[in-house]
Structures are given as C-alpha cells and as structure tokens.
Structure 1
Amino acid sequence: MPTPDITPGAPCWIDLMTSSTDTAKQFYGELFGWDFQTGDQEKYAGYITAHKNGKKVAGIMQKQEDQATMPDTWSTYLRTDDVTATAAAVTANGGQVYMEPMDVPEQGHMAFFGDPSGAAVGVWQPREMRGYELVAEPGTAAWHELHTKEYDTAVKFYQEVFGWDTDVMSDTPEFRYTTLGAGREAKAGIMDASSYLPAEVPSKWEVYFAVEDADAAIDKAVSMGASLVDGPDDTPFGRLATLTDPTGAMFKIIADTARAPRPEAGQPAEA
C-alpha cells in the first residue's frame, strides 16, 4: 500500500502512553506483528517506534512519575503545518493547551491540546518524521473517532482550528455523526456521545486497528491479558470490538477496512 496521503488537519500518528513499555511491546508485537526501535534516551527520552512490514505505524512511551495517576492511553495526532499558530487557534476557539509546542530534534514539532469538550488530541508538525507510513492494513490504524459530549461545539472547533471539510453522515436525535471528508475518502469521525458516556468519563478520541479476523484477534488478545469491553458486533463496515490491553489502555479492532468503520446508525459504539 502506498504511503498515506496525510493532509493538514488529518490524523497522522498514534502513540501509546503506558505504565509498562515491556508489556506493551510484547502484547502489540504478538497481536499486530509489530517490530520496535527505541530512540536515543537523551534526544528522544527512549521513545519507541513500532514498525509493520518495515513501515512506521505507531509510537510507545513510558509514563513518567508525575503521570502515574493518569490512565494508560492511546492518542491520536493531527497534522499541522504550524504548531504555534495551531496552539493560538486552540485557545481562541475554547480549547486548552495541555503541552506547549516543543521541538523534537530533527523529527518535527509537537503539542498536546484539549478541545472544548475535554478530549485530548495531539498535533504534529513534521520534518524528517512525516507520520505513520502504513494504514488500513492488518495491524495498523484504520480509523480515528472522537466521542464527544458537546457535539456541535466539537464539530465547529475542528472546522475552525484544523480546517476540517466536514460531511454530516447522520443528524437524528438517536445518532449524530460527522466525518472529516466524505464516504471512502473520510479520515476521521465525530460522534455525539452525550447519551451514553457516563458522567465520570470525559470526551475522548479512540483508535481503531485493522485486523484480518476479529474473533481470532479477540481470542489472541484475551489470552495475552487483554479484556473484551464490548462486542464483537457486525456493522456495515466490518466486525468490530472494543478491548483494553493488559495495562488498561482502550483500543478498537475492525475486521474489514474496505471502508471507514463508522458505527451503524442508531447503534453508537460503547464507551
């Protein structure tokens, strides 16, 4: 598959903040067929890059002591051509700067923000590291989805800050869903989660990984210490399930990547 065409504002990278990089490497290496390369400790704080078939697909980083109370989490990064300007736009449109723009030597610039609904999202301004090099193949990211309690506000935020050209897939009281792009060209989705996310669960971005066989992937993941949270369910976009890895980080799997795995109307994915 050719290198993904990552346009400004679109998802370009994912990484996992984990309490155990050794556990994560063993788990995802077995489940998705990943190989790993650890970066220089002084320059890159030992950041681990995961590869699939020789292509960069994800990152893994160890939580620090001051992050010990934070849950292990997969994060989505959106492409920007100017991380400083994006930070200013975030605050101007009701968001928060969680991590100020910083230089990653030779690789690019990054920052971490909170959108107005409280969902955390990263941004990446590339230099040598352009982003992930393989998507929508088994063992790689297939879809990115924001579950938000403030749907209208969130849609406007991503339009204004990241220049999203959006398409409304559904706008009924039971199911409201907007995508970045339309149809098979869509690159991410925003779902109204106000009816099903518990009060204690914040709005959040979720990552889907492509697999060849959802049931086999579930069995393998559970045998290695994962937990099945929801599913598997058959949807118009493939067989879908939600799991947590052995340290508690949530992720989704989808068995058919021919089209973006947006949920079936009237049946929003579980938190």
Structure 2
Amino acid sequence: MAAFARSAPCWVDAQLPDLEAGKRFYGELFGWTFRAGEGPYADAYSGGKLVAALAAKQDGRMPTAWGVYFATDDIVASVARIREAGGQVITEPVRAGRAGVLAQAADPGGAVFGLWQAGDREGFQKQNEPGSFCWTEVHTRQKDRVDAFYEEVFGFQGTDLAQDAEPFQDTEPGAAASTPAFRMWSPAGTEPGPDTAVGGRSVITDAFPAELPSYFLSYFAVEDCNSAAGHAVRLGGRISAPPFDIPYGRMAVLQDDQGAVFAVLQPPVSENGAE
C-alpha cells in the first residue's frame, strides 16, 4: 500500500539561485541536514527523516519558489485529466531515476504544482512535526474555476470555512470581509472537514496588486512561530505576514534570503498542554 493517498501532498522542493546559501538558511532555520540527491537536488532531512529538497535553478528565468507535489498512482491519466479540466501541462511526465516519475502543471488560474508517481521514493518520511511540511494551499483570483478544476482532477471534496476560520487570508489588515474566501480540500472517499483536509484554496482579493500571480503557499511546522520568524530575519530573510493566531495555531508568512516564500505554523496547545 502506498504511503500517500491519491492526490495527497507528498513532497515539496525549492528552486533557488544559490543552493549552498539555501542549505545554510534552512539548515539554520529548521535544523535540516543535507545529502546529495538526484541531479541538481540536495535532499533535506529532519531528525534523519526525509522532509524536502533544495535545487539549484538550471534556468535563471525560473521563479525562486517552493513547489508542492501531489501523489498519483497513474501520472499519465492525471496529466490527461489536467488538460481536460482546463489546466496546462508545463512538464510532461519524466522519470527521476529510480525515485519515481514527476510532472508539472498549472491550474486555470496559473498556479503551478507538481505530480509525483512514486518509485523507490514515496515522498515525505516525516510531516506535521516541527521542521517538516504540514499544509499547502493555492491562492487564486479565479475561485470558481479553480475549485472545479481540483475537484475534477484530484477528486477533492470541499468545505467552505467562515471568514474568521481561515488559516491565511490574502487580505490586508482592516480590509472588509466579503464572502467566505477559504475552502478546505479533503480526499475522495473521506468525510469532508478539517479532520480530513490535506490542503486548501484561498482567494487573492483586490487589496493586492493585479500583478500578483496565483501561487501555492506551503507551510512547515515549528515549535515557536515568533522565534522562527525572528530567526529567519537574522538569517537574511524577510517577514511577509507577521506572526498571528488562527484557529489552527500561530502562523507567519516568510521569505528566505533568496526570495522563496513559505509559511510556518506553530500548532495550538491544548488545555492539558499537548499540541
């Protein structure tokens, strides 16, 4: 049995101009160690478990960004569904050695994501723990088209959340709330809701420049959000959204020292002190 349900996020990697600088930044911030991976990649480990990869950009026109991959057991069929649903295939399925097969695509709003069909590598060996991936969401202006796309391609079942329950909103502080702008995705065959959600969709409002493209924001779990944000700045990064509380903990949106955007999330502490 595969380690990841079909369509679940199973991997993240960052494309960076300077790989060694990236290793220093994330090694200091998350305590990651690195080993040489396939091709230009450096595999990242947390506590000896595989959590992500960093890569040196092969083309300077590529964005400096974190990318997320969704699991599939038939990447050719997934690519066909993407086209049928109005998406764009950027990279046709290509074998990554014995590790697996990958492809890259964009949804109708332009947000880029990856597909991963596992070979020897299933994906994360650790997640939802400090120093590892814990959540991803697409930010888009084309809510209706994008919702229909992910439901058709991945079989996601959506749950709309009230405005005050959103993990992260693309609204400026004090901006007027409109319709619920956040939707959680649960895999096909599960009861939709926060307990089964594997990702989500947020709306980019008119409060942001029209030039801001659609994008995926991936989150990493941390023990202390405030400390992680401060540490990122000391390492040469920037804070895009200062730490704030949400129903699922305390989060911040950060940029590394090369401009790649990501979020950190400190899980809430329950009444008995457990996270």
TM norm. shorter chain > 0.5: yes
SS in 1 for 2:139: strand
- Is residue 2:114 matched to residue 1:109? no
Equivalent in the alignment of 1:263: none
User: How much has 1:6 moved relative to structure 2?
Assistant: 2.0
Matches within 5 A, 1:1-271: 6-39=4-37, 44-64=38-58, 67-170=59-162, 173-181=178-186, 182-256=193-267
CA shift in 2, pair 1:257/1:153, >3 Å? farther
CA shift in 2, pair 1:248/1:157, >3 Å? same
User: How much has 1:243 moved relative to structure 2?
Assistant: 1.0
SS in 1 for 2:232: helix
Distance 1:34 1:99 in 2: 29
CA shift in 2, pair 1:52/1:100, >3 Å? same
User: How much has 1:19 moved relative to structure 2?
Assistant: 0.5
Distance 2:107 2:216 in 1: 11
Distance 1:8 1:196 in 2: 35
SS in 2 for 1:198: coil
Q: CA RMSD in A?
A: 1.8
Distance 1:205 1:161 in 2: 17
SS in 2 for 1:183: coil
Contact between 1:71 and 1:248, CA under 8 Å: does it hold in 2?
Answer: no
Q: Which amino acid aligns with 2:257?
A: P
Distance 1:5 1:108 in 2: 14
Structure 2: gaps spanning 5 or more residues: 164-176, 187-192, 271-275
Contact between 1:142 and 1:257, CA under 8 Å: does it hold in 2?
Answer: no
Contact between 1:149 and 1:197, CA under 8 Å: does it hold in 2?
Answer: no
User: How much has 1:25 moved relative to structure 2?
Assistant: 0.5
Distance 2:29 2:154 in 1: 33
Contact between 1:210 and 1:257, CA under 8 Å: does it hold in 2?
Answer: no
Equivalent in the alignment of 1:268: none
Distance 2:228 2:11 in 1: 22
SS in 1 for 2:93: strand
Aligned residue-pair number: 250
Contact between 2:252 and 2:265, CA under 8 Å: does it hold in 1?
Answer: yes
SS in 2 for 1:94: coil
TM-score scaled by length of structure 1: 0.87
User: How much has 1:18 moved relative to structure 2?
Assistant: 0.4
Q: Which amino acid aligns with 1:215?
A: N
Q: Deviations over 1:76-118 (max 9, x none)?
A: 1011111111111111111101111101121111000010010
Q: Which moved more, 1:127-136 or 1:160-169?
A: 160-169
Q: Deviations over 1:152-187 (max 9, x none)?
A: 111110110111122222488343221112112211
Contact between 2:5 and 2:71, CA under 8 Å: does it hold in 1?
Answer: yes
Q: Which amino acid aligns with 1:18?
A: L
Structure 1: gaps spanning 5 or more residues: 260-271
- Identical-residue share of aligned pairs (%): 36
Distance 1:194 1:93 in 2: 24
